[in-house]
Amino acid sequence: MLDTMTGPDLTIEHVRAAHARIKPYIHETPILTSEYFNDLTGAELFFKCENFQKAGAFKVRGASNAVFGLSDEMAAKGVATHSSGNHALSLSYAAGRRGIPCHVVMPRTAPEAKKAAVRGYGGIITECEPSTTSREAVFAEVQAETGAEFVHPYNDPRVICGQATCSLEMLSQIENMDAVIAPIGGGGMISGTCLTLSNLAPQMQIYAAEPDQADDAARSFRAGHIIADDAPVTVADGLKVPLKENTWHFVSHFVTDVLTASEQEIIDAMKLTWERMKIVMEPSCAVPMAAILRNPEVFRGKRVGVVITGGNVDLDKLPWTLD
Amino acid sequence: MLDTMTGPDLTIEHVRAAHARIKPYIHETPILTSEYFNDLTGAELFFKCENFQKAGAFKVRGASNAVFGLSDEMAAKGVATHSSGNHALSLSYAAGRRGIPCHVVMPRTAPEAKKAAVRGYGGIITECEPSTTSREAVFAEVQAETGAEFVHPYNDPRVICGQATCSLEMLSQIENMDAVIAPIGGGGMISGTCLTLSNLAPQMQIYAAEPDQADDAARSFRAGHIIADDAPVTVADGLKVPLKENTWHFVSHFVTDVLTASEQEIIDAMKLTWERMKIVMEPSCAVPMAAILRNPEVFRGKRVGVVITGGNVDLDKLPWTLD
């Protein structure tokens, strides 16, 4: 059973099975290119636009794989999570497509817009106090009452296999890639990328990108063990969470390097991408471009896949308009 | 010679010739779809993303057709225009690709960002005072000095044939369209759409969309002759200019109806499109969606091509963030 496996157990067959399972519920998102950014960086960049994905982010791949992999008996009890970001939206979307409940535990202090978005995808919110103790207690209650299956946003092998389908698509869409770069928070996308590429294109380089101000993955990578930070502050709000054992397996074994960027570099890269590529993407997605611009020598002359992970942004609070 | 023709002289062969001529210099832009907007409108919408076009707007089609249709002798003297918007960017881009000068007369009071954008594409700016008299005098001087060929932003038959290639692509990209809707300012895009569809798909409906506050095309359409407004005020700043004889020919003969939308409807449609489709587009491009939402009965059950005309927006001045 996939849900009792750990990182090292996962194979490319699990990824192929995930792809077949989730195909009806996700988009094969397009690849965009930009002469402007190619000239600017000296690399050939291929942007994998998961901001155009269902529910607005790549997270729907992993969530759908978890939801549609459940037996009918397990599925009937629903799924549950305590993320308040893209994973909650994605899990709600996938559960809705299967016609089963999705329980989301969120702090009562979470922005109304986030709650509305989860409800918009059919998620059922149970509020907790804004503390880890309360969240864990309320989540345990919800699970006890409903028997819903917990789907972790990134440490779950089913989720990692789902995220791995993104680079599977990239391999068929982009010829002769030399490298892939993606943002790293908890490491779900990077782990999926490692799972696919280490099996199908082991010569390809895999770069993870994160904010200077939330550089726990970079420090973990150099130290050789997981370092977790307590509540880092960064505009790239999807990248604050720490690595866990299953994602650490992939990061420690298969990642070429972890690069970082400053807050200003991230905001500048975000705005420049909106201006030149005309796409709406989250601050987290700008971190790879910011890292490429900070380290041009690493990428010059290479064909690089850049994962644009999501597009769920509060348009009333764009980072370059804030003081 | 195409530049001495008028609207009624243009044929589908001119459009096909334009397409062959400009293909190396433009993108065949993608079609995006959105389940959300289909559910919201009851129509099947196909968004033709000219915001992803070279120089950020469909205007590069007409500009390229004009520039690359010149004889070598004429081309050597360059091209000229007095637009300060997307046409100036597009003409500068096309002239740059041919390696000839592009002269742009702009008021010295125009925003620095607009001047920088034109220069960024290689345009040579000559400043005038912010009045029609000064603009015309300075433009005449530039033309006399350089012998540059004037390319009007929309009334030029070469430009209309270039814009017509957009719907030519749509016909090959979207099966069984029932209707196309596009914004109307001076009428270049709509005229091109009429030119292509009246020849290749005469049963297809053609809707033009414009702001309530710049509804000169709607009033012209109902009156049966051109009505030009003096400096209308609207957030859809690409749609302020009046029809001219060549575009009026197409609007009066082939347009099904001209629909309008309020400023608030335009801003709401723009923000909603950014939020749900994750694309950056100009206020002008939101007018068709606003018109569809105001007139759902016109589009319900139909397969509708929606032209997203451009993506050149000042990200520091988004209309929903302004007081």
* Residues of B whose CB is below 8 A from A320: 315-316
* Residues of B whose CB is below 8 A from A277: 52
Looking at every residue in chain B, the average pLDDT score rounds to 95
In which element (H, E) is residue B38 found?
A: helix B35-41
- Kindly identify which residue of chain A lies nearest to residue B319, measuring between CA atoms: A316
- Chain B nearest CA to A53, separation (Å): 10
With an 8 Å Cβ cutoff, the interface of chain A facing chain B consists of 30, 32, 51-52, 56, 271, 274-275, 277-281, 311, 315-316, 318, 320-321
* pLDDT recorded at residue A230: 81
Average pLDDT over residues B290-304: 98
Q: Inspect the interface and report whether the beta carbons of B52 and A32 lie closer than 8 Å.
A: yes
Average pLDDT over residues A62-82: 97
Evaluate whether B21 touches B68 at the Cβ level (below 8 Å): yes
Q: Inspect the interface and report whether the beta carbons of B275 and A315 lie closer than 8 Å.
A: yes
* Residues of A whose CB is below 8 A from B318: 315, 318, 321
* Residues of B whose CB is below 8 A from A281: 278
Is the per-residue pLDDT at B1 higher than 60?
A: no
Pick from A52, A320, A321: CB nearest B278: A52
- ipTM of the assembly? 0.91
More confident residue, A168 or B136: A168
Whole-angstrom distance, CA of residue B282 vs CA of residue A82: 37
Place of tokens 């994973």: A87
- Kindly identify which residue of chain A lies nearest to residue B320, measuring between CA atoms: A316
* Residues of B whose CB is below 8 A from A316: 320-321
The partner residues of B102 in beta bridges, in order of sequence, read: B79
pLDDT-derived band at A7 (thresholds 50, 70, 90) equals confident
Evaluate whether B37 touches B289 at the Cβ level (below 8 Å): yes
Q: Inspect the interface and report whether the beta carbons of A278 and B280 lie closer than 8 Å.
A: yes
Pick from A271, A280, A320: CB nearest B278: A280
* pLDDT recorded at residue A111: 81
- Chain A nearest CA to B24, separation (Å): 14
Query: Which tens digit of pLDDT belongs to each residue from A188-208?
Result: 999 999 999 999 999 999 999
Report the interhelical angle of A245-254 vs A216-223 (nearest 10°). Answer: 60
Whole-angstrom distance, CA of residue A140 vs CA of residue A131: 14
Evaluate whether B313 touches B84 at the Cβ level (below 8 Å): no
Evaluate whether A45 touches A34 at the Cβ level (below 8 Å): yes
Is the per-residue pLDDT at A1 higher than 60?
A: no
Domains parsed from chain A with CATH numbers: 2-57+156-321 (3.40.50.1100), 60-150 (3.40.50.1100)
Is the per-residue pLDDT at B157 higher than 60?
A: yes
- Kindly identify which residue of chain B lies nearest to residue A281, measuring between CA atoms: B278
Query: Which tens digit of pLDDT belongs to each residue from B226-272?
Result: 999 888 899 998 899 999 999 999 999 999 999 999 999 999 999 99
pLDDT-derived band at A323 (thresholds 50, 70, 90) equals low
Percentage of chain B exceeding pLDDT 70:
99
pLDDT-derived band at A130 (thresholds 50, 70, 90) equals confident
Q: Inspect the interface and report whether the beta carbons of A318 and B318 lie closer than 8 Å.
A: yes
* Residues of A whose CB is below 8 A from B268: none
Residue from A38, A89, A277, A278 to probe the interface with B (highest B Cβ count within 10 Å):
A278
Q: Inspect the interface and report whether the beta carbons of B274 and A280 lie closer than 8 Å.
A: yes
What is the SS3 string spanning chain A? CHHHCCHHHCCHHHHHHHHHHHHHHCCCCCEECCHHHHHHHCCEEEEEEHHHCHHHECHHHHHHHHHHCCCHHHHHCCEEECCCCHHHHHHHHHHHHHCCCEEEEEECCCCHHHHHHHHHCCCEEEEECCCHHHHHHHHHHHHHHHCCEECCCCCCHHHHHHHHHHHHHHHHHCCCCCEEEEECCCCHHHHHHHHHHHHHCCCCEEEEEEEHHHCHHHHHHHHCCCCCCCCCCCCCHHHCCCCCHHHHHHHHHHCCEEEEECHHHHHHHHHHHHHHHCECCCHHHHHHHHHHHHCHHHHCCCEEEEEECECCCCCCCCHHHCC
* pLDDT recorded at residue A206: 98
Evaluate whether B31 touches B284 at the Cβ level (below 8 Å): no
Average pLDDT over residues A35-52: 97
Evaluate whether B256 touches B179 at the Cβ level (below 8 Å): yes
User: The tokens of B20 are what?
Assistant: 């062959």
Q: Given the DSSP bridges, would you call strands A79-81 and B149-150 parallel, antiparallel or unpaired?
A: unpaired
What count of CB pairs under 8 Å joins A to B? 45
**Going by C-beta distance under 8 Å and a sequence separation of 6 or more, which residues neighbour residue A69?**
A2, A18, A21, A158
Evaluate whether A279 touches B278 at the Cβ level (below 8 Å): yes
- Chain B nearest CA to A179, separation (Å): 25
- Chain B nearest CA to A72, separation (Å): 27
Whole-angstrom distance, CA of residue B140 vs CA of residue B145: 9
Evaluate whether A280 touches A311 at the Cβ level (below 8 Å): yes
Place of tokens 């998961």: A50
Helix (H, G, I), strand (E, B) or coil at B113: helix
Whole-angstrom distance, CA of residue B142 vs CA of residue B136: 10
Give CA B277 to chain center in angstroms. 21
Average pLDDT over residues A137-158: 96
- Chain B nearest CA to A312, separation (Å): 7
* Residues of A whose CB is below 8 A from B320: 315-316
Biggest alpha carbon distance in chain B? Answer: 57
Model pTM?
0.93
Q: How many CA atoms lie within 13 A of B268 on its CB side?
A: 10
* pLDDT recorded at residue A2: 65
Pick from B278, B281, B315: CB nearest A311: B278
More confident residue, B161 or B84: B161
* pLDDT recorded at residue B3: 63
Whole-angstrom distance, CA of residue A106 vs CA of residue A84: 6
**Going by C-beta distance under 8 Å and a sequence separation of 6 or more, which residues neighbour residue B222?**
none
Q: Which of B68, B86, B121, B80 is nearest to B104 (CA)?
A: B80
Q: Inspect the interface and report whether the beta carbons of A274 and B315 lie closer than 8 Å.
A: yes
Percentage of chain A exceeding pLDDT 90:
87
Q: Inspect the interface and report whether the beta carbons of A278 and B56 lie closer than 8 Å.
A: yes
Average pLDDT over residues A260-278: 97
Count of C-beta atoms within a 10 Å radius of residue B245: 10
User: The tokens of B128 are what?
Assistant: 């005038």
pLDDT-derived band at A321 (thresholds 50, 70, 90) equals confident
* pLDDT recorded at residue A3: 64
CA dihedral angle for residue A138, residue A143, residue A146, residue A148, rounded to 10 degrees: 130
Average pLDDT over residues A134-160: 95
Looking at every residue in chain A, the average pLDDT score rounds to 95
* Residues of B whose CB is below 8 A from A25: none
Q: Inspect the interface and report whether the beta carbons of A321 and B320 lie closer than 8 Å.
A: no
* pLDDT recorded at residue A53: 96
Burial of residue B197 (number of CB atoms within 10 Å: 0-12, 13-18, 19+): buried
* Residues of B whose CB is below 8 A from A278: 51-52, 56, 279-281, 311
